[in-house]
Structure 1
Amino acid sequence: MALFSHFLVHFALLLIFLPLELHNLLIGVSSATLSITTDREALISFKSQLSNETLSPLSSWNHNSSPCNWTGVLCDRLGQRVTGLDLSGFGLSGHLSPYVGNLSSLQSLQLQNNQFRGVIPDQIGNLLSLKVLNMSSNMLEGKLPSNITHLNELQVLDLSSNKIVSKIPEDISSLQKLQALKLGRNSLYGAIPASLGNISSLKNISFGTNFLTGWIPSELGRLHDLIELDLILNNLNGTVPPAIFNLSSLVNFALASNSFWGEIPQDVGHKLPKLIVFNICFNYFTGGIPGSLHNLTNIQVIRMASNHLEGTVPPGLGNLPFLKMYNIGYNRIVSSGVRGLDFITSLTNSTHLNFLAIDGNMLEGVIPETIGNLSKDLSTLYMGQNRFNGSIPSSIGRLSGLKLLNLSYNSISGEIPQELGQLEELQELSLAGNEISGGIPSILGNLLKLNLVDLSRNKLVGRIPTSFGNLQNLLYMDLSSNQLNGSIPMEILNLPTLSNVLNLSMNFLSGPIPEVGRLSGVASIDFSNNQLYDGIPSSFSNCLSLEKLSLARNQLSGPIPKALGDVRGLEALDLSSNQLSGAIPIELQNLQALKLLNLSYNDLEGAIPSGGVFQNFSAVNLEGNKNLCLNFPCVTHGQGRRNVRLYIIIAIVVALILCLTIGLLIYMKSKKVKVAAAASEQLKPHAPMISYDELRLATEEFSQENLLGVGSFGSVYKGHLSHGATVAVKVLDTLRTGSLKSFFAECEAMKNSRHRNLVKLITSCSSIDFKNNDFLALVYEYLCNGSLDDWIKGRRKHEKGNGLNLMERLNIALDVACALDYLHNDSEIPVVHCDLKPSNILLDEDMTAKVGDFGLARLLIQRSTSQVSISSTRVLRGSIGYIPPEYGWGEKPSAAGDVYSYGIVLLEMFCGKSPTDECFTGGLSIRRWVQSSLKNKTVQVIDPHLLSLIFYDDPSEGSNVQLSCVDAIVGVGISCTADNPDERIGIREAVRQLKAARDSLSNQSDESPTLTSTRDT
């Protein structure tokens, strides 16, 4: 009975609770169904935002099946929620649906390698379970979602290779579980947040190819598990915090293409023992190559090109069996002693070496034969712009994998080895600028993959091999400045792939020009300075992509083909110094792109066309064609008696002019008197003339060792005169158009100009050289400290290895400003320099700056008795980057134009960037770059070398004074470079402001070593 009662009690309880259990069970099932339904709807909405033509990979996504069975979808174990979405590489395009934020259980979202565009929806911030977010390699734009830092479970955030324009959030440190942060190849700006140093789990930081500014936060040194630090291609500067070199876990360390300075610790290899990639290219690092890197037996990439590294290549390269890339190009590395190039031999142990670049240094000696024992994987070998001598080792022919060989601009002699013809994979061969002799081996025609051949500026002789016609992949050929002879092979004019340059100028080629019809894609053809004869082929009209054609200084005859008017893209056409006859084809005025037309010194006749390029007098050169109608209508036989009197007047005037001209030329020739003799008489009363022989002896036959530089109209040599004086001799290239006008301009500008900040012109020389050619030269005082350009670019330094400090730069800036102030305001006749730039500013032994090179100068007040007008032309005056914008609009040279050029020089001096730097593209100029930084901190654009001397990390008042001084100086540069000349300050006001800036430094000069100048300030 008791047992029965017990049973009844349990049964009653079961009846009571059974409905409740069933209810709960049904509720759970309903909840799971609702969740998977929500995920299905979210994914269908996601799909609806995609382009229809890219949806085929998602054909399984439909309402009739569970998302857990769809392509790219991953669910939890019970199939109740979507936890992963991987659509990487599906080629999808369209926008990201905000409904993706409804996938509330999502842990992994991988959409990389598609074509998603638009912004990242803010609803991403709702995915609080997300651990992996990868949307790299798409076209996403806009800012980073502000709530992305709410994803506290996130371990991987990869948004690289998009178009995101944003700052890195300051509260990024809230992602405490983050291991990989990859935001490279976007448009991020601003500073790297120091708070990143609080994410102790971080292993990968990749911010490369953005617009980040500022310094590397020292707080990153706390990330002891960091494997990758990639900051390449940004606008970062400063020194690398020492703490970074203590991150012993680093495997990939990449800082290339920024503005970092300072020395890399010599023990970096000991501190970072796991390094595989070490990349600091394109910065301003100094010191030597850390030898400890050569002890890292697992390292694969060492890239240190384009810095200011010095010394020799340390030993140990033979310890790197896995090395694939070694690039130390464009530094100041030297080779010492007879075994200075042994490091090349050491690299034979690196059997995986693929890329070797040691170009642009000061390495010298004979290239060892052991170079042929380098890795068979070696595809790229850069050794140009050094001081190698001897011959090219024939063993290079054993480098069977070589695709690029560049030995250009050395002192290599001997012949081109036949063995180079064995390099069947070779695509680029550059041997330019050496002393290579002999003929061009025909076997080079077997290199069927060649797309570039540059053998220019050597001493090659003989004919151009017809086997070059086999090079059916050739894009670029330059054989100029050699001693090649014979005719131009028709075979090389039948290379349809030749689309860049064909340059055969400065040789002894003869014969007629073959038909060139198959060169339809070539951009530049230069056959000038040869001995070609007969007519110009009309087939040039088939070169539809031609932009530059030069056939100058040959013996071509006959008419100019009318068909040249069909080459619509032609920008420069030079047919000067030939024997062309007939009229100028009116079709040439149809060339709307033509910017330069030189038809001078031919036998052309008739009327000059009036349209197109002929409307711009400065772009057309027609001198030396005596039968062209210039300033009056051409008279024809069909005109009546009314014009007879006009005929007679014209004939008499022309005859008188010709007679006077011929008589003057005969007189000058017979007496060996040049126009320069009269000019030299004006330079200085009783100025001593100097003979050609004296200058030849003074410059040691105008040797390359004494060459100081090459300018627009000639070369400058250092010379030692017989009475002991050291001078600079500017020898004009009399064959260059405009050199005589430049000579007169310099004489006229300098003869009455006397100022401590102008280079002193001593005398001139007018004679004939030993080849019976005209010889013109100007003799200046010699300034031993070179040009300002040398100092800005680091080619010159003080004995302690420092560049120009703040006070020195300011003194130089004041010197130049005072010179311009004198020329504009205090000279007997105001003078405009027209070509102010760092290479025309020279420094004496006391670092006093002096302005030189007045070859483009213009007198603001012309004398009526001036022999040659140096102001009548409207040619664009100056050097690219320094020319004021109004000159491009046709405005005459002015003092305001000089002020603009001065302002650019000032910005370059204190910011360390040339106005023609490759970073200034797309409308960005040095002025706009600096001006935009003034809104934040000028320190971001200060020359890193100068900034290091200012001790920016020193919080002392002296450093602040110096930075304020730089602010003021840069402000002067901005005021001088306004686009509108009326808005620029005058040079006298610039002098006043710079003197005020110098006064602000005077109290610091005794306290700060960075303000010590090498001369009395």
Structure 2
Amino acid sequence: MILIIHFDFNNLVVSSTTLSITTDKEALISLKSQLSNNDTSSSHPLSSWSHNSSPCNWTGVLCDKHNQRVTGLDLSGFGFSGNLSPCIGNLSSLQSLQLQDNQLTGIIPSQITNLYSLRVLNMSSNRFERIMIPSNLTNLDELQILDLSSNKIVSRIPEDISSLKKLQVLKLGRNSFYGTIPQSLGNISSLKNISFGTNSLTGWIPSELGKLHNLIELDLTLNNLTGIVSPVIYNLSSLVNLALAANSFWGEMPYDVGHKLPKLLVFNFCFNKFTGRIPGSLHNLTNIRVIRMAYNRLEGTVPPGLGNLPFLHMYNIGHNKIVTSGVNSLDFITSLTNSTHLKFLAIDGNMLEGVIPETIGNLSKELSNLYMGGNRFNGSIPSSIGLLSSLKLLNLSHNSISGEIPKELGQLDELQELYLDGNKISGAIPNSLGNLIKLNKIDLSKNELVSRIPISFGNFQNLLYMDLSSNKLNGSIPVEILNLPTLSNVLNLSKNLLSGSIPEVGKLPTIATIDFSNNRLYGNIPSSISSCLSLEKLLLSKNILSGSIPKALGDLRGLETLDLSSNLLSGSIPIELQNLLVLNLLNLSYNDLEGAIPSAVVLTLGLCLTIGLLLYMKYTMVKVTATTASGQLKPQALLISYDELRLATEEFSQENLIGVGSFGSVYKGYLSQGNTVAVKVLDTLRTGSLKSFFAECEAMKNSRHRNLVKLITSCSSVDFRNNSFLALVYEYLSNGSLEDWIKGRRNHANENGLNLMERVNIAIDVACALDYLHNDSETPIVHCDLKPSNILLDEDMTAKIGDFGLARLLIQRSTNQVSISSTHVLRGSIGYIPPEYGWGEKPSAAGDVYSFGIVLLELFSGKTPQDDCFTGGLSITKWVQSAFENKTVQVIDPQLLSLIFHDDPAREDTNLLIHCVNAIMGVGMSCTLDNPDDRIGIRVAVRQLKAARDSLMKKSDIRSPTKSYYLINNAKVEI
């Protein structure tokens, strides 16, 4: 036997015509060497893997009956980290490889395709980032199960996957697969399970999938798929699970889908754009478990037949346009009492009318979630709801429900969330609600409740959120609810008739928002509020509070909003308020205060340096407020929700996608107010996205300049998957990015693109923006990622810098500016990064100047720094430099040259125009010197560029790309 041995990064790879248990052992030992286990409480789970024993006795290893070869390897659930050794490919008799539920990283090696006998390949629930499957995928012709779900794989689905003729299970969900679904999948007749959910797939569902007559599961949820679902999909009578939720499918669901898919147990079509009626035939599938159609555009009534579904677990038709009809229109709720296993019922967000039937209490004793909010229910809340003993969430908000809160709700021992807000409920809050000791959210706001807040609310030892605002509650604030240690989100008692003094609130150390505004509270503001160290919003306006503002409020370092307006406060404004470094709204108006707002607070609020303090006399008392030119302290930022952005961008559709960056995607959107905006959605799973979000907010909140893209607002929320959602909303600039213009993807007035004057003006706009950031911003800012794709143009071709996701603030240290960032991570984009960043230098203004110089050279040469011609050590700077001393014309963008020459190289003013470009190229060269100390400052660059423009304006006016003019004896002459 001849062995050929290759050494590759300590991985022993063996190829041979005859492999044995010995080579299997070596491959497994190599595999073990790259695996680590973080559990130090016990011995290594692979401690039995030793050179002194047979692999057939090792943990997780299975051999054939003669112990000649390893046929199975199961290392699932051990929590291993590390990489998968390419030596895995030497286990050529392996039939089953199960590595799921670990923390393996890196790539799935291509050597996997050497496992010709493999039938089961399960690598799900790891952290693999790529899959290196070459064209010899056909080698795995025995493969029956391929499960790569729950990794971080970024790839297309290989087109030649259809060569796996015996494949039955294909699970690729919860990754980052992109592109379209291969039509060739329709050729794998053995397929029973296709699970592609939670990826970035686009396009339509291939009609070829209609040939898969053995298909049991088709899961395409949470992708970017679109179009009408092909009718052939509804003919796959073997389907048990059909899940197309969270895409952009449209059209009508066949009303007879239940007849065509008689084996269906799961029907999940929610979060799409389906129209038409609820398919009534689904109510005839007596074995069905899940029916989900929420968040579509369905109309009509709820079809009859819901009483036929004894095994139903979930019924969700929320957020459609479903209506009721007739006297017994809500009888479908009664029909569901036959579904004795029902756990989830959602009919919210429709147009259902009528009185909730008392029979609702006869629903399944397993029911845990009941959503009925956002309809037109009237009458009172049935007391029978108290019989739903397993209920964890009850939402009846935003209806027209009247009457009192039934005391029987206090019997719901498992209840965790109670939403009755936005109704016409009257009477007192029953003391029995205090029995709900598992409650963590309660919202009774916007009703007509009277009397006192029950002392029994002090029993809510798990409460996170309480909103009792906009009622007619009276009496004092019970001290008991201010002693709830878990209350960490919101305590809102505003817009009531509460009186008395504010009790000590120091036992709410994690509360984020306290709103006691619009009541009749009197006395002093308790200093103990300073113990609420997590407080972000404190709203006490429109009360009768007196005394001075406690100095201790200055200890609330995370406070963003402080509204004490319209009270009887007196004395001086505490200087300690200057410690509130993240404050963005301060309202002290309509009090008897005197003195100046601390300057640090004014600056924190991001008001103009030109801010003034308005002092005026009233009843001989001095009152102080801060004002901008509009007479307001600071207009409150536009508040925007995830749902508003989802609607504005049409479900973040591909049609509205206008750009993809390092940390997210940008969509064009139309707000309900009529504004057109650009919505940057951060990819919260991508490392660094959260830092990017905060960097952009921090850089932009105090920056105001005509050449900076205006940040309108931000959104920090959760999406419909309950995942973190971060977005920044910017003004929309209709002329796209400078990159589009340089690469010829846009035209302006003619086919030649940007003319000379437009390019010069763009260069000056960008330079002026950097000059502001470096020299005139209160805290100097470096952009760190200046490039043409981050320079946008409005309808007047004014250039504005955007994308401050890598921006860094600078502080002064002696005479030098240094970055506040302590990281040495390389920042920027390849081709635009200054050389010193590669040496570990921190971001600096000189670094931005270098990037600007590259942009300038690209703008006038038409070549990107990554152009294919720049090889063998040649760069855009060296290329321009080589022509700079001889013929600059050689490096000028040919499109620009055609405008300059106008097809007549003998024109007399050509040299003047070339001289102007030559001067601008010189600025670019001065900005891109290797040594940052030798580069010119951005303010010098602005001055030189404006001088070039002035020279150009004196010689010709070429703003029109089709005509040129000269000034002859002060008269404009067209040529």
CA–CA distance in 1 between the matches of 2:150 and 2:731? 27
Change (3 A) 1:597 1:107: same
CA–CA distance in 2 between the matches of 1:619 and 1:205? 58
- Equivalence map 1:680-699=2 (5 Å): none
Contact 2:581/2:604 (8 A) holds in 1: no
CA–CA distance in 1 between the matches of 2:443 and 2:630? 33
Normalised by the size of structure 2, how large is the TM-score?
0.65
Residue 36 (str. 1) matches residue 21 (str. 2): yes
Percent of residue pairs identical: 69
Q: In structure 1, which of residues 891, 905, 927 is the aligned counterpart of residue 704 of structure 2?
A: 891
CA–CA distance in 1 between the matches of 2:650 and 2:108? 46
Match of 1:822 in 2: none
CA–CA distance in 1 between the matches of 2:187 and 2:157? 15
CA–CA distance in 2 between the matches of 1:446 and 1:621? 56
Match of 1:380 in 2: 369
Shift of 1:89: 1.3
Change (3 A) 1:741 1:270: farther
Match of 1:134 in 2: 122
Q: In structure 2, which of residues 149, 157, 179 is the aligned counterpart of residue 160 of structure 1?
A: 149
Contact 1:461/1:483 (8 A) holds in 2: yes
Deviations 1:490-539 (A, max 9, x none): 00000000011100000000111001111111111100000011111111
Q: In structure 1, which of residues 479, 486, 489 is the aligned counterpart of residue 468 of structure 2?
A: 479
Change (3 A) 1:176 1:446: same
Shift of 1:921: 3.8
- Equivalence map 1:572-651=2 (5 Å): 572-614=561-603, 616=605, 618=607, 630=613
Shift of 1:257: 0.6
Contact 1:281/1:304 (8 A) holds in 2: yes
Shift of 1:438: 0.3
Match of 2:899 in 1: none
CA–CA distance in 2 between the matches of 1:371 and 1:304? 22
Match of 2:36 in 1: 51
Matched AA of 1:424: D
- Structure showing greater relative contact order (alpha-carbon pairs closer than 8 Å, 6 or more residues apart): 1
Match of 2:83 in 1: 95
Deviations 1:148-199 (A, max 9, x none): 4531111000010011111100111011110000000011111111110110
Change (3 A) 1:398 1:620: farther
State which structure, 1 or 2, has the greater radius of gyration over its C-alpha atoms.
1
Match of 1:911 in 2: none
Matched AA of 1:294: H
Match of 1:204 in 2: 193
Shift of 1:118: 1.5
Shift of 1:50: 1.1
Contact 1:425/1:449 (8 A) holds in 2: yes
Q: In structure 2, which of residues 466, 475, 481 is the aligned counterpart of residue 492 of structure 1?
A: 481
Match of 1:873 in 2: none
Match of 1:867 in 2: none
Match of 2:796 in 1: 986
Shift of 1:983: 2.2
Shift of 1:926: 11
The answer to which of 87-96 and 425-434 deviates more is 87-96
Shift of 1:617: 6.1
Match of 1:839 in 2: 672
CA–CA distance in 2 between the matches of 1:573 and 1:37? 73
Change (3 A) 1:918 1:840: farther
Match of 2:354 in 1: 365
Contact 2:98/2:120 (8 A) holds in 1: yes
Match of 1:872 in 2: none
Matched AA of 1:839: S
Contact 1:884/1:897 (8 A) holds in 2: no
Shift of 1:270: 0.5
Shift of 1:986: 3.1
Matched AA of 2:58: W
Change (3 A) 1:892 1:886: farther
Shift of 1:145: 2.4
Q: In structure 2, which of residues 286, 289, 308 is the aligned counterpart of residue 319 of structure 1?
A: 308
SS of 1:46's partner is: helix
CA–CA distance in 1 between the matches of 2:704 and 2:730? 21
Shift of 1:841: 5.0
Matched AA of 2:75: L
Shift of 1:347: 0.2
Shift of 1:255: 0.6
TM-align CA RMSD:
4.0
Shift of 1:614: 4.4
Change (3 A) 1:615 1:295: closer
Shift of 1:92: 1.9
CA–CA distance in 1 between the matches of 2:198 and 2:792? 39
Change (3 A) 1:790 1:291: same
SS of 1:80's partner is: coil
Contact 2:36/2:80 (8 A) holds in 1: yes
Deviations 1:83-103 (A, max 9, x none): 000111122222111111110
Residue 561 (str. 1) matches residue 550 (str. 2): yes
SS of 1:330's partner is: coil
Deviations 1:231-257 (A, max 9, x none): 101111111011100000000100111
Change (3 A) 1:621 1:158: farther
Matched AA of 2:21: I
Q: In structure 2, which of residues 194, 200, 203 is the aligned counterpart of residue 214 of structure 1?
A: 203
Change (3 A) 1:738 1:263: farther
CA–CA distance in 2 between the matches of 1:356 and 1:385? 14
Change (3 A) 1:508 1:227: same
Change (3 A) 1:617 1:104: closer
Change (3 A) 1:38 1:928: farther
CA–CA distance in 2 between the matches of 1:532 and 1:924? 38
SS of 2:35's partner is: coil
Contact 2:266/2:289 (8 A) holds in 1: yes
Contact 2:186/2:210 (8 A) holds in 1: yes
- Equivalence map 1:429-448=2 (5 Å): 429-448=418-437
Shift of 1:607: 2.8
Contact 1:327/1:358 (8 A) holds in 2: yes
Contact 2:733/2:792 (8 A) holds in 1: no
Matched AA of 1:99: C
Shift of 1:616: 3.6
Match of 1:63 in 2: 51
Q: Where does the alignment leave 5 or more consecutive residues of structure 2 unmatched?
A: 1-15, 636-643, 657-668, 677-692, 714-718, 741-761, 763-787, 800-975
Instruction: Decide which structure has greater helix share.
Output: 1
Change (3 A) 1:979 1:56: closer
Change (3 A) 1:621 1:510: farther
Change (3 A) 1:262 1:569: same
Residue 419 (str. 1) matches residue 408 (str. 2): yes
Match of 2:679 in 1: none
Contact 2:137/2:163 (8 A) holds in 1: no
Match of 2:104 in 1: 116
CA–CA distance in 1 between the matches of 2:483 and 2:608? 32
- Equivalence map 1:417-566=2 (5 Å): 417-566=406-555
Q: Where does the alignment leave 5 or more consecutive residues of structure 1 unmatched?
A: 1-30, 623-628, 633-653, 663-736, 746-787, 796-805, 810-835, 843-850, 852-879, 905-913, 936-974, 990-1017
CA–CA distance in 2 between the matches of 1:793 and 1:980? 21
Contact 1:594/1:613 (8 A) holds in 2: no
Contact 2:373/2:395 (8 A) holds in 1: yes
CA–CA distance in 1 between the matches of 2:470 and 2:569? 24
Residue 272 (str. 1) matches residue 288 (str. 2): no
- Equivalence map 1:222-371=2 (5 Å): 222-371=211-360
CA–CA distance in 2 between the matches of 1:120 and 1:148? 13
Contact 1:303/1:326 (8 A) holds in 2: yes
CA–CA distance in 1 between the matches of 2:519 and 2:629? 22
Contact 1:598/1:621 (8 A) holds in 2: no
Contact 1:887/1:893 (8 A) holds in 2: no
CA–CA distance in 2 between the matches of 1:192 and 1:601? 63
SS of 2:401's partner is: coil
Change (3 A) 1:388 1:108: same
